[in-house]
Amino acid sequence: MSSSAHPHADEAQRIRVDLAAAYRLIHRLGLDDSIYTHISARLPGPEHRFLINPYGLRFEEVTAGNLVTVDLEGRVVDDPCGLGINPAGFTIHSAVHAAREDALCVLHTHTVAGVAVSCQEEGLLPLNQWSMQFAGRLAYHDYEGIALDLDERQRLVADLGDKPVMVLRNHGMLTCGRSVAEAFKLMHNVERSCRAQLALQAAGAPLIRPSAAVATKTAGQYASFYDKMETGQLPDTEWDAFKRMLERSDPDYKE
């Protein structure tokens, strides 16, 4: 059919390709957890439909063409592989998508470093340039068990508020982005921040803690940079570079 029959077709395909790229990159960087955790993206249009990975595929098996389309309640609309989705996984994602119009993409991980920091009383500390970008932009949500209880969604979104990043206590990390690229880059920096924090703590040497004013300034600088890329004032050269890496290693992600 012509693009006029489906006015959002080109944008939907771009989101599919970017989402598949994010799955492959999370795998390439060692941030996946077997067949668990998810990245979801909202499709354009009034139908409130979302893309998510087929349940049972590892992240390196996800392609633009095998992503599952679901509605806001997690009901399957289109499932090319016939594998369905993980209902517990979409509980968190649907809550964020429903509450946040700006959250086109929601990315959740269970990495060793992220889970370790999520178990620390102080959470993620603004100790370096990576982690200072999250000063004042980080939310926390207490663990309530495996995310099967739909009632938890209300508490989760209340805790998230308008923040782009959430530490799920005793569980892992979550980012929401105005694009797949933004959600991925936020998670990439969250992960590096967690690894750096654990390395510093393991070293046992006294820490230099930047002032709150410096951390806030740094967070504002990062936020301004993200804003300019999301509004098209700056090209997203980092995301483009990551996708070029996939072109060499995982060219089938677009299929």
Q: When comparing pLDDT for 91 and 42, which is higher?
A: 42
What's the distance, CA 241 to chain centroid? 18
Range of weakest confidence among 48-62, 136-150, 177-191, 229-243: 136-150
Answer whether residue 96 is part of any domain. yes
Q: What backbone torsions phi and psi does residue 140 show, to the nearest 5 degrees?
A: -130, 140
Answer whether residue 253 is part of any domain. no
Provide the number of structural domains found in the chain.
1
pLDDT tops 50 at residue 3: no
Quick one: average pLDDT of 210-239?
Answer: 97
How high is the pLDDT of residue 148? Answer: 67
Answer whether residue 86 is part of any domain. yes
Using the Cα atoms of residue 71, residue 26, residue 190 and residue 13 in order, give the sign of their dihedral: negative
Q: Per-residue confidence at 33, pLDDT binned at 50, 70, 90?
A: very high
Distance between CA 218 and CA 31 in Å, rounded?
25
Q: Per-residue confidence at 4, pLDDT binned at 50, 70, 90?
A: very low
Quick one: average pLDDT of 102-126?
Answer: 98
How high is the pLDDT of residue 165? Answer: 98
pLDDT tops 90 at residue 146: no
Answer whether residue 1 is part of any domain. no
Answer whether residue 16 is part of any domain. yes
Quick one: average pLDDT of 31-48?
Answer: 95
Please state, rounded to an integer, the average pLDDT across all residues of the chain. 94
User: In the chain, pLDDT over 90 holds for what percent of residues?
Assistant: 88
Q: What is the pTM of this model?
A: 0.94
Answer whether residue 3 is part of any domain. no
Q: Which domain holds residue 98?
A: 9-246
Beta strands 138-141 and 165-168, pairing class: parallel
The CATH number covering residue 150 comes to 3.40.225.10
Answer whether residue 208 is part of any domain. yes
